[in-house]
Structure 1
Amino acid sequence: MRLVVLGGGESGVGTAILGKKKGYDVFVSDFGKIKNNYKEVLISNGIDWEEERHTQGLILNADVVMKSPGIPEKVPIVKKLIEKGVPVISEIEFAAPFTKAVTIGITGSNGKTTTTMLTYHLLKSAGLNVGLGGNIGKSFAEQVADDTYDSYVLELSSFQLDGIVDYKPHIAIITNISPDHLDRYEYNYQNYINSKMRITMNQTEDDYLIYDADDEAITAWLENNKTKAKLIPFSLTKTFNEGAFIQNNKMEVKINQDEFLMETESIALEGKHNMKNAMAATSVAKLMQIRKATIRESLSNFQGVEHRLEKVLKIQNVQYINDSKATNVNATFFALDSMNMPTVWIVGGVDKGNDYNELMSLVREKVKAIICLGVDNKKIIDAFGNVVDMMVEVTNMNDAVRMAQRLTEKGDAVLLSPACASFDLFENYEDRGNQFKQAVHNL
């Protein structure tokens, strides 16, 4: 059996290692450059590879192709494979049959990384033998090659879910759905929603779907489509006989005739959206029968995720906050919503079809100045030019942070929450966040 892997990054190289171990004839092809550390892994495992090209003769003869999530389906080589009827699948689909471990799959436009990390933290603190993978950390396929874990917590992007056929998580979480990556979905929001909901398409009566019952896109989909999974909703406004909710400043989680209670102020994560992430993760912990005391302790000591509303420093009584992971409008909505001081907002980057109107009332209420950090800021300027007193354009992080410092006074905050992808000026959102932190430390 010939396995061709498109993309020589974390998921690609992990899949190649697993494929080789399971007796496939493996070939890795990357249209860009493969990083040296990944090349060394391929060479030491005796896996053939090429970079900066896709040689059709070495690819179209595949029995199965694993496509890295970053490669769109409209790429010519992928189109040719699909025309030929060669299965093009994701790393998750390829790896899942090779492990008996229980998987917990987590998707959503926002909150999925925090929910994934918190769920992993809850299970690991309880002493479970659990791995972490998917869109985060070490390749799931590579971990399956060693197969030492009893369960995995997987962060799943819509792109990874597009490439599944039979994969099903035993427990699925959908944190929320808001317009994102529409450039990959013909600018059709429904296509993107359907993509996210694929997480539950193969689930059976023995599986669970944990979802945000306040989310219009999810609830509309559930009204019009069937899933066999047992539904476990969570909400900030409703209460349930089976599900998670907030009542009298307490988080309540009722599952299988058992109830878990915790004061919301004892939960380390702050902000309404993080209460939702905590409810989702706690629902998993309850399903995995983790002791209440352990859950309480883990929820109260969780450190949060880097680049997500991360408090960097206070300088001259001005708080600098790194929310570089906010790559869409909905994520920035949460960030602005959680601000309780006058804010200088650093925004901009590669726009994925953003509608900034959703932020208008929050910007009016909380933002005193906007710093545009992007190559093309026209949409942001058109949206907010008349709303804030001060609007500045910059093209590097040092200028953004120095300008922000000039525009603040005691009791203000500086928030980097770009609402956009980072690829115009930075390698990725981590690079953007790290540059911000470095610039703040240099002030």
Structure 2
Amino acid sequence: MAADFAELGLSEPLLKAVAAKGYRTPSPIQRQCIPAVLEGHDVMAAAQTGTGKTAGFTLPLLERLRHGPHARGGVVRALVLTPTRELAAQVAENVVAYGRYLDLRSDVVFGGVSINPQIDRLRRGTDVLVATPGRLMDLQQQRALRLDQVEILVLDEADRMLDMGFIRDIRRILALLPERRQNLLFSATFSGEIRRLAHGLLHQPVQLQASPENGTAPLVEQVLHPCDMARKGDLLCHLIRSNDWRQVLVFSRTKHGANRMAERLEKEGLSAAAIHGNKSQGARTRALAGFKSGEVRVLVATDIAARGIDIHQLPQVVNLDLPNIAEDYVHRIGRTGRAGQNGHAISLVAAEEQELLRAIEKLTGTTLPRTVVPGFEPTVLTAPPLDLSGGRGRRGGPTRGGERSGEERRRRSPDAGARTGERRPAREGDRRERSRPRSR
């Protein structure tokens, strides 16, 4: 087993970049993935966020590209698809950091910002392009790039892309790629839908697993605080103050709930910001930058907007509301306990959320430890499940949650998948932000 990066087959420029990032010992997924990619294999990897998977595919991808001709005339040599803007930006930052000593050009494109500068940049060609599917299709339709010479395709967080309804865009993109290419697929969970996609995409893949499928990050200490629904905001403020938390990511089920909680925290004298799909891209970027710098103490986010939040030592994650989909719990708490650091995941759970809690504990195979906070003992011990109708779930049935991980439900047109059984997202750009919620 490789004890350091030098034993994995990477060249000196990449080893120098890794050292500049302060990394010495590869993570388990990196030890498995880097040699497999360097050998040219397709890869199917079960890797949660925080396991080092981005470096696991970025480093060998750059190593392979450095030996070929540079991209010219709109050509894309390696394509990395991600489900959200924040994750695309985060992956692109890693590509730049690891490729700093290589003569390779990289770029990132996503919606919510002007498309014209992206068109101008891409027409020169790019060795590594990180993109969200909707904006990539917009650019391709405007002939701003060529995908017929892609050598390596990476689908990052493929489970989330399918959950968000990107399957049609992904299939359109695949049809534009050359048949001979290397394919890398990363997913925190492997549903039947993901396995079907992998079967049609990957050729004799090397299968890697950095953690138990559907399991939670091993370095994350999890705890559940029973609490009445009406007192969740009070309890959150108490926990932040009594524990002197300086940096905490809070998950809200809805955009409106995130706004209300951020406003409440500000009134309590705790610097806070909300981040969700109704915020402009500029506002989302500023909120995330403030959170990373410490200017913002509490970031309240919906599931989608939180993708791509990569903070090396984020100590606390709080579930103000349990997620609608059990797998999202795994994604949420994976924001902490990253890269070998310990983390804490705290869930404030009301009687109305018992059905959601049972689904999470069944998926993860664990029973969350309960701790009642003195002064916040629940008075409502049994209650009907929350009425969270209004969308359709990942498996095609009604959800047990309101906004489907924040803003996902809003993105689907009323007839999405009516004939094919697939779900169709709106485009990644401004049109998606303005689309209406589907009616029932």
Both proteins in one fold, TM over 0.5: no
Q: Which has the higher strand share?
A: 1
Structure-1-length-normalised TM-score: 0.37
Structure-2-length-normalised TM-score: 0.38
Higher RCO structure (Cα 8 Å, ≥6 apart): 2
